[in-house]
């Protein structure tokens, strides 16, 4: 009869995710994972498989507990407000994180996705989910008048996705509040109808 596990799998996965997020896939050793999770290498392998399998679980955990959860929250808001709110958390993290970790998903897109077809599809799928959220909220905003109709919704969604990736990449090497805030504010300003903005200002 198998012995019950003597650790909380969710807590171990959280710790492994933080380790991979901080160091990346290649620089994270099994010794690092053992140190951060507090369990033996044998227990890690028995519970999660090899290092690649654990990284896959950690990346999925990051996507579902962070990005997907934020999409769900922001989807419940008014369209234009939800789009702005979606950027609040990554902008604040980009400015305040002392370790300049960036986004684990974006980091994966640069480190492992180009060389691993499996991870490339995981990353691409997550980015498509984000883009689909942008498109849904932009389309709803154009319908209720809170988002400009001057630009195609697909083009605006693609621009916001590029802005998000640029924000999190820049935050690794130039986490300057003015730079990152301007990047986000300018992208969001493209959502506004100039005529409406002028009327409000007047």
The per-residue pLDDT for 5 is 57
Residue 196's pLDDT is: 56
pLDDT of residue 62: 97
pTM above 0.85, yes or no: yes
According to the model, what pLDDT value does residue 200 have?
A: 44
Cα separations (Å) of 199 from 149, 187, 192, 193? 17, 21, 12, 10
Q: How far is CA 118 from CA 9, 48, 77, 97, 109, in A?
A: 24, 17, 34, 29, 12
- State the pLDDT at residue 195: 64
Burial (0-12, 13-18, 19+ Cβ within 10 Å), 152: exposed
What's the pLDDT score for residue 60?
A: 97
| Averaged pLDDT in 10-residue chunks for the chain of 202 residues | 65 95 95 93 91 96 96 98 97 95 96 96 98 98 97 98 97 96 97 66 42
d(CA 138, CA 125): 20
pLDDT at res. 48: 92
Contacts of 51 (CB under 8 A, 6+ apart): 28, 30, 33
Q: What is the DSSP string of the chain?
A: -PPPPSS-HHHHHHHHHHHHHHHHHHH--HHHHHHHH-S-HHHHHHHH-SHHHHHHHHHHHHIIIIIIHHHHHHHTS-HHHHHHHHHHHHHHHHHH-TT----HHHHHHHHTGGG-HHHHHHHHHHHHHHHHHHHHHHHHHHHHTSS-SSS-HHHHHHHHHHHHHHHHHHHHH---HHHHHHHHHHHHHTTS-HHHHHHHH-
d(CA 79, CA 61): 27
Taking alpha carbons only, the member of 147, 55, 33, 185 closest to residue 108 is 55
Say what the pLDDT of residue 100 is.
94
Nearest 10 degrees: CA dihedral of 98, 85, 195, 166? 40
């Amino acid at each position: 009869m198998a012995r019950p596990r003597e650790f909380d799998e969710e807590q171990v996965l959280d710790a492994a995710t933080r380790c991979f997020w901080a160091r990346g896939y290649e620089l994270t050793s099994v010794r690092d994972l053992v140190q951060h999770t507090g369990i033996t290498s044998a227990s890690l392998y028995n519970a999660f498989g090899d290092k690649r399998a654990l990284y896959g679980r950690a990346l999925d955990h990051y996507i579902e507990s962070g990005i997907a959860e934020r999409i769900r929250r922001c989807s419940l808001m008014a369209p234009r407000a939800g789009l702005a709110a979606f950027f609040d958390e990554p902008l604040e993290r980009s400015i305040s994180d002392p370790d300049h970790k960036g986004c684990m998903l974006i980091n994966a897109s640069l480190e492992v996705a180009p060389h691993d077809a499996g991870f490339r599809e995981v990353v691409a799928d997550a980015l498509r989910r984000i883009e689909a959220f942008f498109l849904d909220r932009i389309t709803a905003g154009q319908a209720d008048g809170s988002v400009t109709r001057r630009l195609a919704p697909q083009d605006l969604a693609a621009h916001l996705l590029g802005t998000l990736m640029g924000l999190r990449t820049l935050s690794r090497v130039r986490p300057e509040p003015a730079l990152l805030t301007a990047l986000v504010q300018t992208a969001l300003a493209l959502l506004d109808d100039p005529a409406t903005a002028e009327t409000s200002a007047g």
